[in-house]
Structure 1
Amino acid sequence: MNQRSTLVRKVLECLTSGLDGIAQVGLLKPSMPYPDLTQVAQVCVQVLAERQASELQSKGADAGVTYGPTSNKNLSPNPLDRRVLTLQLDLEVEHADSDALLTRLDGVIERCEALMQADDMATPWQFFIPYNIDFAFTKQPSSVIGKATLTWQFYYQVEIVEVCDLPPISEVYLGPEGGEHWLIAKTPAAVETPSGSGSA
């Protein structure tokens, strides 16, 4: 199962449906045509990095976690199976009034974060951290463009890939590497049962 792409698709799905009428959402590049930023915000989801969640080794499933849906509060105690996928959201709005711009920008950010933490939503991640936000503002002749770069971290459990069934061992040999080997054990051959013949 492609867990990374599944996680990213879920984030995109939540943002697209939850920001309908508020923002235009794109993946890896802005959606086109570019919207009128005075009316609709532009949000672009980027995939930044992934790492092992080694800091969770001492916490384990007993302590659980403090972020994310209540149905996903526990992680497996095996740290090697936990990953942190980092996504970046580039958010852009425009407004003639600076105070209104900041209020609108703040509202879109809060809405985005709330969509990732809905308790009634099944998610492919165990918990979500809105890790960092950077702001930038560009003055236009009659307006101000506000940009926010959101860095999000998603902790998820790597699913164990099932090992294909291997053929059964029927013979065991013993001997030095590169030398002669001797058969020391052999499983009994399956006894074929003759097909029954009907009585005359």
Structure 2
Amino acid sequence: MILPIYITGHPTLHSPAEPVTEFNEDLAELVENMYETTVAAPGVGLAAPQIGIGKQAFVWVYANQTAAPARGVAINPQLFIEPIQPGGTTEEDAEGCLSFPGVKYQLRRSPRALLRAQGLDGKPYELEADGWFARILQHEYDHLQGTLYVDRLAEPFSSKAASFYQDNKWGSENTKWTPGEAH
């Protein structure tokens, strides 16, 4: 089932998520729905807070890497990154977000990440990622901390994002969109 995605302003997007404690059929169904929603959006990842569920879980759908399956889930993750090197951003650093739809802004991220998480069965796993996949993991992990990528932007992109936010009159906890429906 394709789920509605909340746009910035919904409380779960701006609060740290709670750990997942039950690994059961409900969790498996939620994760499957998150995969479907990600593909329909289209996106490369989705965190539970983006659909209004304040739990520590995110999915990715990204085949252009060798560190992990093209489709995966991270439950109760920990993420370790290399320090971000100083310097400016380039067009290659532009990323977007399903909870801040319609634009992409340049954000400097670490080129490498180490993810420790649990799978759907509750068993722990670890993977190393680099490049764009490392960026995806950092972006989705941020959602579990209550941070959107636009919260990390430097000038001039932070001002552009603030203007885009105001122009769209976002900020209500009821502002959402459903992939596949006109919005």
Please state which band the TM-score falls in when normalised by the shorter chain. Answer: under 0.3
TM-score, normalising length from structure 2?
0.24
More helix, by proportion: 2
TM-score, length basis structure 1: 0.22
Higher relative contact order structure (alpha carbons within 8 Å, sequence separation ≥ 6): 2
* Structure with larger Rg: 1
Q: Report which of the two has the higher share of strand.
A: 1
